[in-house]
Structure formats: structure tokens, C-alpha cells
Amino acid sequence: MCEESAMPKTILIAAFEGWNDASQAATNVVRHLVSRYESQEVRHIDNEGFYDYQVARPMICSVQGRKRIIWPQTTFYDIAVSPMLHLLAQIAPEPNYRWEEYCRQTLRVAEDYDVSDVITLGSMFDECPHTRPLPLDISKSGCECESDREYNGPVGIPNILDAFAAEAGFPTTSIWVSVPHYYANTECMQGTLELLRALSLIIEYPLIEGDLTRKAMQWRSDADGLVSDMHAGDYLARLEHDYDLDARAKRIASNGMPACEELLREAESLLRNGV
């Protein structure tokens, strides 16, 4: 076996706190991986010039009786998933300024570690039911997902980094999960689990789920209680109906155009019955 083929493969994964991280579903993927594998901090990006401290505020904490200021910063972890696969995991608050320079610095780190691929993670609030699999959107270099083709509007740093990385010649993948907007004030462990499983498929390696499955079940149970307390059963039923109808439409469309007539008849029947 030649020396080159024996070198471990390194993939950059990036997740950013803030607007791109609904219910912390994306950044918790990085935190989970750091806690489950042999990991070490390897690089940082200097925070000066990238953050508005009235938005991304510094934190103060006590360490061994002495107060310490923790500034918002970008951290890179080397995560040894296997002897032949490492993840260079980037986690940071979304920067407020100089996004182009920030992305250039990120890609310089990627080049230093001979990264082969760049994967960005994100989560967004949406009208989706917690009782169904959370919607995932996955886009690869030169292959847009349906939501990419339909979306027009503001984007966050994961989208910009993805574009810069593709322009620099890196194969890129963007993975986003939608989480219920009505359950916004808690960490969405189901979203984290969905992202982790999608990441496993993209990198073609089964990542350790650990206690995420249990935490996701607890999240769904807590969401059931919230809906009950809010007397929002009718609203949840509408979301489930819309989700199921959309899922069926996609299945029928994938089987060819003639099958769309069946969907049209079903939709007309639902409208006539006032559903």
C-alpha cells in the first residue's frame, strides 16, 4: 500500500450559533462528536473585527475563584472518528462583520489540514410537526435541493462558506434540518439526531449516536406535553395533514407524471369534504 493511500481523510464540518442554529440542533452535532470521540482543539480564528459584542456578548465566569472573560471565538477541533477518518469541526457564533475575510481564513485552515470536503450544518424554524420525521434539505456541489431552487431571501454564514468553498474547488455539502417553531425555547435533540444521521450517510461512516436517541425521545415526549398544555391539538393535526399530503405528493411525483392524476383527485376530494 502506498504512503498516500494510508493517510487519513479529513473532512471539515462547520456549524454556527445564532440565526442558522434553531434550537441549537446544528451546533449540538459538533458538541456531541467532541464528547464521543478523541478530540482536541487545534486552531482558532481571532475574534477581533468579526463580532459586534453587543450582539455576541462576552461571558464572564469564575474559574478556581478568579473571574475570567470568555470572548466569542471560532474553535476548530480535530475529531478522530477512525484511524482513517478525521473531522475538522468548526464551531462559532455567526460573525457579524467581514464575512468574506472570515471564510478565507476558514479555508486557509482547511488547506492546512488537507481537507478533502466541506460540510456545513444548519437548522431553521418551520411549520412542521414534531410527531413526524423532521424535514431535511441536503445540497451538494452543483446539485441543488428543491428548497434551494425555490428559495429567495437572506442567507447565513453557512451558505456563504459553502459558496466560497465550492469556488475554491472543495466538494461541498449543505445539510439543514427544520424544527417546529412552536417548540423553540428548548434544544431540539431530534434535530441534532437527524443531522448526525444525515452526516453519517454523507461521510459514509456510522457515527456514534450514544444517548441522542434517548434525548430525542424525551424531546418528543416533552413536545407532546406542550401541545396538550397549549390546547393546540387541532393545529398539530393540521400540520400533520399538510406534512403527510406533501410527502405523498413527492412519492407520487417520483413515480412519474401519470400518477399525479391520483394526487389531484385526492386533493379535490379533500377540498370537497372540507378537510
Question: How is 135-155 classified by DSSP, letter by letter?
Answer: PEEEEETTB--HHHHH--S--
The boundaries of the domain holding residue 39 are 4-222
Q: What is the DSSP letter of 21?
A: B
Asked if 140 and 33 sit in the same domain, the reply is yes
Whether residue 252 is contained in a domain is answered as yes
Distance CA 190, CA 70 (A): 29
Asked if 41 and 114 sit in the same domain, the reply is yes
Q: What percent of the chain has pLDDT over 70?
A: 86
Tens digit of pLDDT for each residue in 134-173?
A: 999 999 976 655 555 566 788 999 999 999 999 999 999 9
Asked if 32 and 151 sit in the same domain, the reply is yes
Q: How many domains does the chain have?
A: 2
Asked if 151 and 249 sit in the same domain, the reply is no
Give the pLDDT score at 256: 60
Query: Domain end: 200, 222, 244, which one?
Result: 222
Give the pLDDT score at 267: 60
Asked if 144 and 165 sit in the same domain, the reply is yes
Q: To the nearest whole number, what is the mean pLDDT of the chain?
A: 89
The full length of the chain comes to: 275
The backbone torsions φ and ψ at residue 110, rounded to the nearest 5 degrees and listed phi first, read -60, -40
Asked if 199 and 116 sit in the same domain, the reply is yes
Q: State pTM to two decimals.
A: 0.86
Give the pLDDT score at 204: 95
For range 81-110, the mean pLDDT = 96
**CA angle (46, 51, 57) in 5-degree steps:** 110
User: Which uninterrupted H or E stretch holds 114?
Assistant: none
Say if residue 3's pLDDT is above 60: no
Q: Taking phi first (over 0 means left), then psi (-120 to 50 degrees means alpha), and beta for anything else, what does residue 164 get?
A: alpha
Give the pLDDT score at 1: 43
In terms of DSSP H, where are the helices of 59-130?
99-112
For 4, 90, 129, 211, 228, the CA distances from 28, given in Å and listed in that order, are 33, 12, 21, 13, 27
Say if residue 214's pLDDT is above 90: yes
Q: What's the pLDDT band for 261 if we cut at 50, 70, 90? A: low
Whether residue 240 is contained in a domain is answered as yes
Closest CA to 203 of 110, 102, 82: 82
Tens digit of pLDDT for each residue in 20-47?
A: 999 999 999 999 999 999 999 999 998 7
Q: Give the three cell numbers for residue 171.
A: 466538494
Contacting residues for 139 by C-beta, under 8 A, at least 6 apart: 145, 148, 162, 173, 174
Asked if 217 and 246 sit in the same domain, the reply is no
Distance CA 135, CA 190 (A): 11
Q: Are 95 and 157 in contact (CB under 8 A)?
A: yes
Whether residue 140 is contained in a domain is answered as yes
Say if residue 244's pLDDT is above 70: yes
Q: Are 136 and 175 in contact (CB under 8 A)?
A: yes
Asked if 45 and 173 sit in the same domain, the reply is yes
Asked if 141 and 164 sit in the same domain, the reply is yes
CATH code for the domain of 123? 3.40.50.10900
Asked if 136 and 252 sit in the same domain, the reply is no
Asked if 104 and 153 sit in the same domain, the reply is yes
Q: Are 252 and 262 in contact (CB under 8 A)?
A: yes
Q: What is the DSSP letter of 258?
A: G
Asked if 137 and 169 sit in the same domain, the reply is yes
Whether residue 120 is contained in a domain is answered as yes
Distance CA 143, CA 272 (A): 39
Whether residue 266 is contained in a domain is answered as yes
Pairing of strands 172-180, 117-126: parallel
Whether residue 227 is contained in a domain is answered as no
